[in-house]
Amino acid sequence: MYDPLRKYTLDVYWRIVESLPERKYEYIDGDIRMMTGGSLAHSQTSTRIAGILDRALYDTEFYLYKQY
């Protein structure tokens, strides 16, 4: 069970992350927090920016990779 006053180790963090792969967590100074999901607006904005960057990099030596 999660205790907000306890400082967790990286080992505990990785056990939680590996046991719940459908959720995302962050680890900061011994605190483990579940991250919120992305919104439709965020997804649309990031896709548009990626498209702009991809067109700007066309026919250059650089490539754009998107991480999910």
Q: What is the pLDDT of residue 24?
A: 87
Structure confidence at residue 2 (pLDDT): 63
| Domain chopping of the chain, boundaries | 1-36, 38-68
pLDDT under 50: residue ranges of the chain? none
What local confidence, expressed as pLDDT, does residue 66 receive? 75
Amino acid letter at 51?
G
Q: What is the pLDDT of residue 1?
A: 62
Give the per-residue pLDDT at 36: 80
| Residue 48 Cα distances to 7, 51, 53, 67, angstroms | 39, 5, 9, 15
